[in-house]
Amino acid sequence: MQLVDGMQIVSDIQSLRELRREWQTGKQAIAFVPTMGNLHNGHLKLVKEAKKHASKVVVSIFVNPLQFGPDEDLDAYPRTMEQDKASLAELGVDVLFMPKVEDIYSRGLEQQTFVEVPGLSYMICGASRPGHFRGVATIVCKLFNMVQPNMAFFGEKDFQQLQVIKAMVTDLSMNLTIHGVPTEREADGLAMSSRNNYLNEEQREIAPGLYQLISNMAVEIKSGRRDFSIMIQEYRLRLASIGFKPDYIDIRSASSLLQPSHEDKELVILGAGFLGKTRIIDNIQVEI
Ligand code: PAF
């Protein structure tokens, strides 16, 4: 660090951040939990984690049109505002931010500047949902700019989303920490998700099968199985045989989401499939 006529000159990001932090002395750490509402225990767990790390917690509820494809469920997406407000107030959230679409996208969706994380956004879920992660990165970046949190919390259930956001924060040198929080599950293992509300009784019975299958894969990998491409084909068929229309089953490096190399010790098994029109996703991390 250099001092020139009272002006501090720094050349590395870490020093800049340290200075910035000193200037903030006396201010409170702010944690942020962005959501699309219809809150379940998975969201509430994010809020509880946020409260452990910061003195002020901001939660947003915004059903983001930019991350839904033309044939997806934007209009049908469950909205339970009153219930959500009550749950958040009970947890002691400091601010609930509920912006309007026209305020967020004031120049219209067509004109909107966007943030795109290349590579990571096009694979796995991104291959099935073109433009989805561009919509997620754009809204999360905008919300970060609005809330200016010191840290933000996301569920590991949306594992790829978490990696996209971490990459965006790194690539754009954003000054906050991203925390991933383990998936909250129903008693039968089904990952909690707002979209579970769409399932009928029969589909709800089938739904935990995805988690059971990827858990089996994890056990096999832990026991030494390494023929990943055969495994993927096999488990895709098994997903179909229990009643899903498979989207994908995949095994990736947990850090890069690329095909695992022999050196990769931390893997993630990801799966997605349809029950009727409802898309269920899940993942499990495996250390080998
Ligand atoms: O995970 C979600 O609910 C959304 O993708 C998010 C991160 C709130 C962005 O709209």
CA of 185 to the centre of ligand 1 (A): 18
Average pLDDT over residues 150-176: 97
pLDDT at 25: 66
CA of 27 to the centre of ligand 1 (A): 27
Q: Confidence band (pLDDT; 50, 70, 90) for 211? A: very high
When comparing pLDDT for 86 and 270, which is higher? 270
Ligand 1 pocket member 38 (CB < 6 A): no
> pLDDT, tens digit, for every residue of 226-275?
999 999 999 999 999 999 999 999 999 999 999 999 999 999 999 999 99
Topology of domain 194-283 in CATH is Pantoate--beta-alanine Ligase; Chain: A,domain 2 (3.30.1300)
Q: Which CATH architecture has domain 2-181?
A: 3-Layer(aba) Sandwich (3.40)
Q: Which residue's alpha carbon is at the smallest distance from atom 3 of ligand 1? A: 35
43 catalytic residue (yes or no): yes
> pLDDT, tens digit, for every residue of 113-131?
999 999 999 999 999 999 9
d(Cα 271, Cα 178) in Å, to the nearest integer? 23
Residue 3, pLDDT > 80, answer no
Q: Of 4-8, 82-86, 123-127, 156-160, which range is least confident?
A: 4-8
User: Residue-wise over 28-46: b if at least 16 C-beta within 10 A, else e?
Assistant: eebbbbbbbbbbbebbbbb
Residue among 39, 158, 163 whose CB has most ligand 1 atoms within 8 A, to mutate: 158
Ligand 1 pocket member 239 (CB < 6 A): no
Average pLDDT over residues 127-150: 95
116 annotated as ligand-binding: no
Q: Give the residue from 159, 180, 178 showing the smallest Cα distance to 169.
A: 178
pLDDT at 225: 97
Break the chain into its structural domains and give their ranges.
2-181, 194-283
